[in-house]
């Protein structure tokens, strides 16, 4: 478009297109577009990360009441401090301190609009010229997307399926150099469903100390653990390697970014202080049952193998053997045709860094999960090579 003899001086930021192309949401939207609208069966979402649509995962009524009370109190109608309102930060500090050897203070807490903004904040303040960051493969692709936008070089280390998805620490040491600023550790694992042991987390912290880098501990699913390994927060090893030491930079970025809704912050003390343990144990038991159904169902599908039973979060990574299938070229082709033919959405592994793997979500109603796995089996048998 021209303005007389001159061209307009504005244009879109091309970095946004590059970054958004590798998000899970973008891949899932593409798969949804390939659903057969004439299929009368309900769509089974085994690729999402949001269980809230299912009644069995509904939040506690206490949380709903706390938000309502916060709104009605008229105490949280204005702007919040950059770092978050004090009562919320104090409640979170007390809540997190129960699992740590040292007591956190409200000054250690910064409130963000969910995990994605927390990732945005941390990677932005770390993105000095020539800096690089170590990310797990497979992992959560928002890290790659945000790093690309911030011109932060990404170096991937492998998670080892044959060792319960442990970090390849030798590779970490080989990848790091004087420009490496941090390593990201996702525990419990997304997308793998693993839970790291105390011993392995300590080795990660010791490796970070040796390399002089920060550990970014992504612990979104900290209490969704139902296997043999208990959850251990990375903060336990804070005396070995730092968690965050760039406080002033974080405050500076939060000064120019959006804040969480103030009335939600106002509800946090009541939610954390009054929600009973049986609410969480109920959710964990549902996930444990679903994980068993998922693991058993996957083992009944000839072209898919699961290296280990999930022990935490709400996901599991499974390997797709394309050589056993006709007219299926790779994991993306498998997922697109599965959506068209069976109305089942599964995330192709390439979206989280592993080609010809699949990420399966089991945080749905058990009956829907069994139905979805049955459809995947029927699809695989229909496309299986004839002997």
Residue 387 binned pLDDT confidence (cut-offs 50, 70, 90) = low
Q: What are phi and psi of 91, to 5 degrees?
A: -65, -40
- Give the C-alpha separation, 149 to 170, whole Å: 28
User: In sequence order, what are the residues at sequence separation of 6 or more whose Cβ sits closer than 8 angstroms to the Cβ of residue 275?
Assistant: 60, 62, 63
Q: What is the mean pLDDT of residues 112-128?
A: 91
Q: What is the mean pLDDT of residues 243-252?
A: 58
- Give the C-alpha separation, 47 to 28, whole Å: 7
User: In sequence order, what are the residues at sequence separation of 6 or more whose Cβ sits closer than 8 angstroms to the Cβ of residue 273?
Assistant: 91
Residue 116 binned pLDDT confidence (cut-offs 50, 70, 90) = confident
Q: Which residue has the tokens 């000839």?
A: 302
- Give the C-alpha separation, 350 to 302, whole Å: 21
pLDDT, mean over the chain: 91
Residue 245 confidence (pLDDT) above 60: no
For 268-316, the DSSP string reads HHHHHHH--HHHHHHHHHHHHHHHHHHHHHHHTSTTEE-SS---BTTEE
pLDDT of residue 233: 94
Prior bond of 188 cis (ω within 30°): yes
In this structure, the chain runs to a length of: 387
| Residues β-bridged to residue 86 | none
Q: Which of 312, 313, 315, 304 is nearest to 357 (CA)?
A: 304
Contact 262, 84 (CB under 8 A): no
The radius of gyration computed from the CA coordinates of the chain, to the nearest angstrom, equals 22
Q: What is the mean pLDDT of residues 100-124?
A: 91
Least confident of 10-14, 84-88, 169-173, 345-349: 10-14
Residue 22 binned pLDDT confidence (cut-offs 50, 70, 90) = low
pLDDT of residue 17: 62
Q: What is the mean pLDDT of residues 350-354?
A: 95
> For residue range 127-176, what is the model confidence (pLDDT) as tens digits?
999 999 999 999 999 999 999 989 999 999 999 999 999 999 999 999 99
């Amino acid at each position: 478009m021209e303005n007389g003899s001159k061209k307009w001086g504005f244009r879109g930021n091309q970095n946004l297109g590059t970054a958004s192309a590798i998000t899970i949401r973008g891949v899932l939207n593409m798969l949804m577009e390939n659903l057969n609208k004439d299929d009368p069966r309900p769509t089974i979402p085994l690729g999402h990360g949001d269980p809230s649509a299912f009644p069995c995962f509904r939040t506690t009524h206490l949380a709903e009441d706390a938000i309502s009370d916060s709104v009605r109190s008229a105490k949280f109608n204005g702007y919040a401090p950059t770092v978050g309102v004090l009562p919320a930060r104090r409640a979170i500090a007390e809540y997190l301190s129960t699992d740590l050897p040292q007591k956190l203070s409200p000054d250690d807490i910064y409130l963000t609009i969910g995990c994605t903004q927390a990732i945005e904040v941390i990677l932005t303040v770390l993105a000095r010229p020539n800096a690089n960051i170590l990310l797990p493969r497979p992992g959560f692709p928002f890290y790659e997307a945000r790093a690309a936008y911030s011109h932060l070089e990404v170096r991937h280390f492998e998670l080892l399926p044959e060792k319960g998805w442990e970090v390849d620490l030798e590779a970490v040491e080989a990848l790091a150099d004087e420009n490496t600023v941090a390593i990201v550790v996702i525990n419990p694992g997304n997308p793998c469903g693993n839970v790291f042991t105390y011993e392995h987390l300590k080795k990660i912290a010791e490796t970070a100390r040796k390399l002089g880098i920060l550990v970014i501990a992504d612990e979104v699913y900290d209490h969704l653990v139902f296997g043999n390994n208990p959850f251990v927060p990375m903060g336990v090893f804070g005396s070995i390697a730092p968690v965050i030491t760039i406080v002033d930079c974080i405050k500076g970025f939060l000064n120019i970014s959006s804040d969480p809704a103030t009335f939600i912050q106002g509800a946090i003390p009541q939610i954390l202080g009054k929600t009973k343990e049986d609410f969480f144990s109920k959710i964990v038991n549902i996930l444990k049952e679903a994980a068993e159904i998922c693991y058993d169902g996957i083992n009944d599908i000839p072209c898919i193998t699961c290296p280990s039973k999930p022990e935490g979060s709400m996901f599991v990574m499974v390997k797709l053997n394309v050589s056993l299938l006709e007219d299926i070229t790779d994991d993306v082709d498998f997922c697109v045709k599965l959506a068209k033919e069976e109305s089942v959405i599964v995330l192709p592994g390439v979206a989280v860094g592993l080609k010809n793997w699949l990420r399966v979500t089991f945080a749905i109603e058990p009956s829907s999960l069994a139905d979805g796995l049955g459809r995947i089996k029927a699809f695989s048998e229909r496309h299986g090579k004839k002997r």
